[in-house]
Chains A and B, each alone.
Chain A
């Protein structure tokens, strides 16, 4: 089921939660709404679900206009941030709720309900815990119950609000992979909200980056990361180092530090750099003159993260270097180096 959001806006009192925005989600697609808190992503998700009414605009599921359709008739699966399980009901009854809630004519027989719930519980690997109460489960298990409960009514659209926000890192990774599998198996259209760029980039077919109630960019994870539309998207998608200065004769200068820029635009006053686009060297060259002092070193993971300070920075920089370079250069707290950027990013000053 495709979802079409057209010119939807929403205000809460005097604050604008959503400026009129449009969004097209294809059938079977998995889309992540990514943004900082207060960016309107949850409001948009709740409007799609029917838990919130838009002030203007319309929502279509396929050809069907659902703008004024009550949430209980929209047939969406919704997974809440804190799961919102029914605490007094067993895992089984939680999952069966949507089937039992149907009006008498459409309700499946008890045997049918039992079979379907059992099948779903097997799918989420909770069949042995069917009789437990939610309070007796771990966070990851509760999340799986919430998913099974939403899937029991066979929705064509699955909406998830910060689905993995409250879980620890390992469970989160496992559940992410598992959600991806479920998505492919059941072939529903999924929209999820997250403030974690890694989650959005890993899980989504397309990512919608939002800030201040408007959409900044809609793109696939690759092109989003490679070609961010503006400064906000760039800095939200990963760690950012900023170099601010004044442009003279092909150099952006700040005190003793400078970076060579290939631009004719004399208004340039800042460049942004990713940590992995910085090389640590013992001598400057024609590309840049950036003397730095090592402040901290964290040799964990596939790269070594080095925190750097210098008088010309407004905030400390972060560089990630290979273990090979780390062994060669032996950076330690207090040692001095130069940085050479392999790549830098500039954005038009008018973009946010």
Chain B
């Protein structure tokens, strides 16, 4: 028998084996079948499928709205995380729990609720209408639905990092004469920056694929308020599986690259922060 170098931590083969099995079943298998669907297309067909003008309009709508939503979430999520991490007040636990609601709520419920609230005679929409602001069935509504469903990403990535920052770092900056803004910019922000970027990136990636919440409030007008995921659903309804797969492959590629970039960047940042030790 060949001697193997012994591992001190037990269970490596078992845990990695189970993990890889599950990754294969729930991730790789569907992805392979998706690529299998693509094999029925020639390159020119594939190109045509992903550059359909109506589809390109939907790219623009989706990316624009997702950008707006994730930027809004970066600000609002940061504020929310700040409030939850820095202060104690009655009802804090309830607020903390509420932050996860967008994840727990079926997205369709969120979409219908938002559409009802923000439609022209809805509770909020009726207040906005005199101001000339229309939310439901516009680009703004799409961004709103995306922001709602993805805000926990920012809160939940920033909050622990903020709690981890010792209050003494803040106090040190103040004893050295720094203004609140200066202390925030040079001491707190650099510390939480990677978490904010990660959270925002995740929020953006999630928004790109959001379907349930968006379709109810989007109005789904071709060239104006159609999102990419809706285009996929439309293709499927037309039994154009290859076309749907073509769009899906593109969305997947973009999301994958985005997540990879975030991970690499974050790894570099933390290596710097911990002086070579991870």
Contact = CB atoms under 8 A, between A and B. Distances in A.
B275 A97 contact: no
B201 to A, nearest CB: 20
A78 B177 CA distance: 11
A28 B169 CA distance: 28
Interface stretch (B56-64, B154-162, B179-187, B214-222): B179-187
Given A88-B190, A88-B191, A133-B275, A72 B168 contact: no
A135 B183 CA distance: 21
B272 interface: yes
Q: Give the contact-size bracket for chain A.
A: 35 or more
A80 B170 CA distance: 11
Nearest to A135: B275
Nearest to B275: A135
Contacts of B274: 135
Nearest to B190: A88
A78 B171 contact: yes
Contact of A51 (B175, B276, B277): B175
Given A101-B182, A133-B272, A135-B274, A82 B176 contact: no
A300 B173 CA distance: 45
A282 B174 CA distance: 64
Interface string B266-278: 0000001111110
A97 B178 contact: yes
Contacts of B171: 51, 71, 78, 80, 84
A49 B171 CA distance: 10
A98 interface: yes
Interface residues of B, number: 24
B166 A84 contact: yes
A153 B273 contact: no
Interface string A138-163: 00000000000110110000000000
A103 B177 CA distance: 9
B177 A153 contact: yes
Among A76, A101, A102, A103, the one with the most B-chain Cβ atoms within 10 Å of its Cβ is A101
B170 to A, nearest CB: 9
B48 interface: no
Interface in A44-82: 49-51, 70-78, 80-82
Nearest to B178: A101
B191 A71 contact: no
A80 B168 contact: yes
A98 B175 CA distance: 9
A345 interface: no
Interface in B83-141: none
Interface in A240-255: none
A87 B191 contact: yes
Nearest to B180: A72
Given A82-B168, A135-B277, A136-B276, A97 B173 contact: yes
A191 to B, nearest CB: 14
Interface string B184-205: 0011001100000000000000
B187 A82 contact: no
B236 interface: no
A133 B272 CA distance: 8
Nearest to A149: B176
B260 interface: no
A236 interface: no
Interface string A119-139: 000000000000011111000
A325 B3 CA distance: 61
B172 interface: yes
Contacts of B187: 86
A17 B168 CA distance: 20
Among B176, B190, B272, B274, the one with the most A-chain Cβ atoms within 10 Å of its Cβ is B176
A80 B172 contact: yes
8 contacts: A86-B169, A86-B172, A86-B186, A88-B191, A101-B183, A102-B177, A135-B274, A153-B177
Interface of A: 49-51, 70-78, 80-82, 84-89, 97-98, 101-103, 132-136, 149-150, 152-153
Given A80-B172, A97-B186, 19 more contacts: A51-B171, A71-B171, A71-B174, A72-B179, A73-B177, A78-B171, A86-B169, A88-B273, A97-B176, A97-B178, A101-B179, A101-B183, A132-B275, A133-B272, A135-B277, A136-B275, A150-B175, A152-B176, A153-B177
